[in-house]
Chains A and B, each alone.
Chain A
Amino acid sequence: MNLLPKYDVIVVGAGHAGCEAAAAAANMGSKTLLITMDMNKIAQMSCNPAMGGVAKGQIVREIDALGGYSGIISDLSMIQFRMLNQSKGPAMWSPRAQCDRIVFSIGWRDYLESLPNLDFWQDAVTELAIENKTVVGVKTAWGIDFSAKTVILTNGTFLNGLMHVGQTKIEGGRVSEPPIKALSEQIQSYGFRLGRMKTGTPMRIDGRTVDFSQLTEQKGDENIQAFSFMHENESLPFLKQRSCYICETSETVHSKLSEGLKSSPLYDGTIQSIGPRYCPSIETKLQTFPDKNSHQLFVEPEGESTIEYYLNGFSSSLPWENQLAALRKIKGFENARIFRPGYAIEYDFFDPTQLKSTLETKIIENLFFAGQINGTTGYEEAGAQGLMAGINAHLKINEKPAFTLNRDQAYIGVLIDDLITKGVDEPYRMFTSRAEFRILLRQDNADVRLTELSHKIGLASDERMKRLKNKIDLRDHFIQFASDFSCKPEYINDSLEKLNTSPLQQKTKLRKIIMRPQVHIEALRGVIEPLENEIQSHSISNEIIQAAEILIKYEGYINRERLLAEKLTRLENIPIENLNYEKIQSLSTEGRQKLIKIQPKTIAQASRISGVSPSDISVLLVYLGR
């Protein structure tokens, strides 16, 4: 009886990782099943209602360039946009959007429902079907067996999830949602190393009870830039835009919070798991930085019209009474009511060094992990892994070469390489400082870096390629124009003076002028008529002008970075195959142990393993005959 088809790919979990994984596999042509415990919680923003930010915004752009949906959905649901770090170099410009949490979820569901290759099933996966160390399907809480060629686990915080508010503990993956038990134990029984992590979320506040006049308003940018390369900036926004607000804690707030410390699960030893250092709970901030008598908090709207607000920076697992009492000591919140307190959650993750660069596990064939199950945090990090797992599951079934990205190609490459090479000792979040070549990994060129690669493997659409080609053509055309066109001093010196840059002595190429840090093409358009004509006649968009300007202005940095990256690539190209590290006597003891554990595929990967020293690398190079 074949009531149920055999799937190519089963994705377990419909969070940010699961959705991208299912969409990618289905779009590439795999018969895909997405299993989620709750069809109404697809792509839930469990923590703050925002996408992007420094380094994360770059990841969203990369996901989009590869043909994922996170960027498109972010555009549809944004209620505030800001390009962060605009005073820094272009590698730091980072798009960030507040999103309507419900529109985000519905938007994702609409997109997924439009995919003919994708089926849905509402249920909990409780067990994997494994034969000969190969996964062949899943078993659900209803006792249904689904068979599949590959399975992608994106369980988020649900594996043995345990939530804490003060001394109260509730089992679950999110508030009011039950945990998944036994699955971790089954996976562990195959020899996987498992750990526990902790994360937290702040209280949600009733906006009707907040005196916003006491807070500092933070508006979004006038010029909204789309996350998706498929959207025109001018077509945004789709929703009404809203402001965020800034407020501050004080010593009175801190003393209220301190009263709860004795009942804090973080400090009485109840919670042993590792939390993220960069996203500490408010009580951790008090403990770690006792000298600081004020911490900044951000009040973020949860949607286009809702009164619900998210209090960013106030994550806590103190007893709810202490949280609320402290909140009411914050200026503007004297009469505040809340929808729910902040809480901490502990959950299982699997040491990601047990994964291949495709996110397939080394121990069980055809089983892929993506998202928080790998010890990461963040919607963007999860989405990126889901996308890569979905792509590689499809490629594996079709016996095509794996699709991986290098550290100089994408933040996604940095992310996955870090995970599988270094492992994690706290929830892993992306930072620009993790990338050696961040000048290459800009948000403006994610499409140039990645779209063609994705098109080749059959994910990025022809329409995407067409838009990319058009962008590159116009960009190069513009750069050529700037290289050929000479400006006369008399036309431009007045303007240059206004921009606080030295006047020209003689006719000078436009390109040279654009290279000056103070000069922006936008400011020259009104002054140099042929420039404006050129832009108009070819209808070159602002986005393309900006791309050209970045390439001209930062050419020196970009080129040097490229050279360094190529140097590294040479090491990436030295493969390590079947080295018996036990036998190599010159290796340091720690280096040998780490190499045995990680089994790096290239010399460059080996060099990134902590504990493997430069002299260990010399030894390996020598052994490989270099």
Chain B
Amino acid sequence: MKNYVTDTICAISTGGIEAAIALVRLSGPDAISIADKIFQSKQVANLKDAQGYRMYFGRITDQQTEIDEVLASVFFGPKSYTGENIVEISCHGSLFVQQRILELLQANGARIAEPGEFTKRAFLNGKMDLNQAEAVSDLIASDSKASHHLALKQMKDGFSREIKSMRDDLLKLVSLMELELDFSEEDVEFADRTELKALMERISDRISALLSGFRYGNVLKNGMPVVIAGKPNVGKSSLLNALLKEDRAIVSHIPGTTRDSLEDDMVIAGIRFRFIDTAGLRDTKDEIEGEGIRRAYDKIKKAGIVLLMVESHDDISAVMSIISSVRETINESEAQCFLLQNKADIHSAVTLDKQKLEQQIPGISTFVISAKIGSGISELTDAMVNSVQVMKGNADVILSNMRHVEALGNASEALSRANEALQVGVPSDLVSQDLREVLHHLGLITGEISTDEVLGEIFRSFCIGK
């Protein structure tokens, strides 16, 4: 067997949140020797001589300074989760400590694991099959409360059965279209376009619901990215401060770590929001400022919520100009956009009517706030919490499997192409080509991909052949 795993990986296995304790995990051929370099214990001189599957009390130090008192366990491959040597370090849960330990491990030759890489290695080393690997990732990503069981169960039965039944319906109709094509000379009945359209709509709706469930799951896991954008000096930083004051459940402010220094996390109503401040948007010739603005657009692209700030005395053309500058980027990210009319304390007369604005700019909600005195902030946070809950919607399945998400995304894209093609009267072989792509992507989830299926369906159901 080929040895494709040569490097040692490490990660915070408890999700990198602040908690009482946290678990840092190392896996790979050098896991033990790397851990040895930073771990000292009176109970065992050297981890490679440690007894497996028990805990050793000791200290993590970086040369001079002690970082934390920890418990370390060694799991010798192949009798470990990944099938490789594993060292697990239980440390205290401060983010600083976790981060510091990771840095030390990296400095000694480990690299940060890619998402899911431990499980991937377990799969590679024959410790589990693909389905089990996927179940693990579902478990990891599911909301710790109710959705935990649901996700697992749904993923195993309902979800894939549902996809399968939609796919079977589509297969029937695609077969009919193929029948028209390959047996055009014969007197066969043709695919009912109304039925096809209805089915495409049903599948498309279901996929959207599933994908939004995925985004919700993602928010639970990684927090909701909220980007604060606007022209310079409209009060973006004050808003950040106001938000921080509003809710005392601040999670962190981690300068200079893996995150951008301008990010702040906080938990509101049990949901983690990641606030991202950006450079003021304006035309500039300054290269450095330009780079900052370019980054601001990048952030907006990845946002779940965009807080677009203007001043409350700005006239409609000023508002429209800032909106139009970000509109395309926001559409791309499918983010919620909140228009904040700031400095209500200074400009007591708000020039623009909320209702009118929201009519004029569909899909936007407006708020009049004063970041300085903190007015309007709680309405804003309520709306933000609400928008996360809306995302959850009636998603009974929390999708967390990237392979499924990607497949559904591709299926949805191909569906909308097919739909468009049907509208403009593109010949059916081309429409069918898009639909076959949908079948392919859905088949990646249900595990059936074969061009023979279409023919099988044709021969089963129709009398063809001269």
Please report A residues at the B interface, Cβ cutoff 8 Å.
Answer: 48, 53-55, 84-85, 87-89, 91-92, 276-280, 285, 288-289, 292, 295-298, 312-313, 422, 431-436, 438-439, 517, 554, 557, 561, 564, 583, 585-586, 607, 610, 613-615, 618-619, 622-625
Given known A-B contacts A278-B459, A614-B449, A623 and B1 have beta carbons under 8 A apart: yes
The smallest C-beta distance from A55 to any residue of chain B, in angstroms, reads 7
Q: Is the CB of B4 within 8 A of A622?
A: yes
| Assembly CA distance A439 to B425 (angstroms) | 17
| Assembly CA distance A614 to B160 (angstroms) | 15
Quick one: closest A residue to B463, CB to CB? A289
Given known A-B contacts A433-B455, A625-B4, A88 and B426 have beta carbons under 8 A apart: no
Given known A-B contacts A278-B465, A296-B186, A561-B433, A615 and B447 have beta carbons under 8 A apart: yes
Cβ of A55: which chain B residues have Cβ within 8 Å of it? 182
Given known A-B contacts A517-B425, A557-B430, A622-B4, A296 and B465 have beta carbons under 8 A apart: no
B244 within 8 A of A: no
Q: Is the CB of B433 within 8 A of A439?
A: yes
B373 within 8 A of A: no
Max chain B C-beta neighbours (<10 A), residue from A89, A289, A295: A89
Cβ of B464: which chain A residues have Cβ within 8 Å of it? 278
Contact indicator per residue, chain B 422-452, by CB within 8 Å of chain A (1) or not (0):
0011111110010011000000100101111
Contact indicator per residue, chain B 174-194, by CB within 8 Å of chain A (1) or not (0):
000010011111110000000
Contact of B130 (CB < 8 Å), options: A54, A295, A618: A618
Q: Is the CB of A622 within 8 A of B182?
A: no
Given known A-B contacts A88-B428, A92-B181, A613-B447, A623 and B463 have beta carbons under 8 A apart: no
The smallest C-beta distance from B329 to any residue of chain A, in angstroms, reads 25
A-B contact pairs, 11 of them (CB 8 A): A54-B185, A88-B181, A88-B184, A89-B429, A277-B459, A277-B465, A278-B464, A296-B186, A434-B451, A610-B450, A618-B130
The smallest C-beta distance from A26 to any residue of chain B, in angstroms, reads 35
Q: Is the CB of A431 within 8 A of B455?
A: yes
Q: Is the CB of B427 within 8 A of A89?
A: yes
| Assembly CA distance A53 to B186 (angstroms) | 12
Quick one: closest A residue to B445, CB to CB? A614
Cβ of A434: which chain B residues have Cβ within 8 Å of it? 451-452, 455
Quick one: closest B residue to A625, CB to CB? B4
| Assembly CA distance A438 to B451 (angstroms) | 12
Contact indicator per residue, chain B 394-429, by CB within 8 Å of chain A (1) or not (0):
000000000000000000000000000000111111
Q: Is the CB of A625 within 8 A of B2?
A: yes
Max chain A C-beta neighbours (<10 A), residue from B178, B182, B186: B182
The smallest C-beta distance from B458 to any residue of chain A, in angstroms, reads 8
B131 within 8 A of A: yes
Contact of A88 (CB < 8 Å), options: B130, B427, B451, B452: B427
19 extra interface residue pairs, beta carbon distance < 8 Å, beyond A288-B463, A434-B452, A622-B4: A48-B466, A84-B185, A88-B184, A89-B426, A89-B428, A277-B459, A285-B465, A312-B466, A432-B178, A433-B178, A433-B455, A436-B436, A436-B451, A438-B429, A438-B433, A439-B429, A517-B424, A557-B433, A625-B2
Given known A-B contacts A292-B463, A517-B424, A585-B126, A615 and B182 have beta carbons under 8 A apart: no
| Assembly CA distance A505 to B183 (angstroms) | 42
Q: Is the CB of A614 within 8 A of B459?
A: no
Cβ of A295: which chain B residues have Cβ within 8 Å of it? 187, 463
Q: Is the CB of B429 within 8 A of A432?
A: yes
Q: Is the CB of A89 within 8 A of B430?
A: yes
Quick one: closest B residue to A607, CB to CB? B449
Contact of B465 (CB < 8 Å), options: A48, A280, A586: A280
Q: Is the CB of B131 within 8 A of A615?
A: yes
Q: Is the CB of A84 within 8 A of B463?
A: no
Contact of B182 (CB < 8 Å), options: A89, A312, A431, A625: A431
Q: Is the CB of B465 within 8 A of A279?
A: yes
Cβ of A313: which chain B residues have Cβ within 8 Å of it? 465-466
| Assembly CA distance A278 to B123 (angstroms) | 43
Interfacial residues of chain B within 292-317, with CB under 8 A of chain A in the complex: none
Q: Is the CB of A54 within 8 A of B126?
A: no
B129 within 8 A of A: yes
Cβ of A623: which chain B residues have Cβ within 8 Å of it? 1-2
Cβ of A561: which chain B residues have Cβ within 8 Å of it? 433
Max chain A C-beta neighbours (<10 A), residue from B131, B450, B465: B465
Cβ of B130: which chain A residues have Cβ within 8 Å of it? 614-615, 618-619
| Assembly CA distance A91 to B450 (angstroms) | 21
B454 within 8 A of A: yes
| Assembly CA distance A434 to B444 (angstroms) | 19
Cβ of B124: which chain A residues have Cβ within 8 Å of it? 622
| Assembly CA distance A91 to B181 (angstroms) | 10
Given known A-B contacts A92-B181, A554-B430, A614-B447, A622 and B123 have beta carbons under 8 A apart: yes
Max chain A C-beta neighbours (<10 A), residue from B427, B449, B455, B458: B427
| Assembly CA distance A370 to B192 (angstroms) | 40
Given known A-B contacts A288-B463, A557-B433, A622-B4, A433 and B182 have beta carbons under 8 A apart: yes
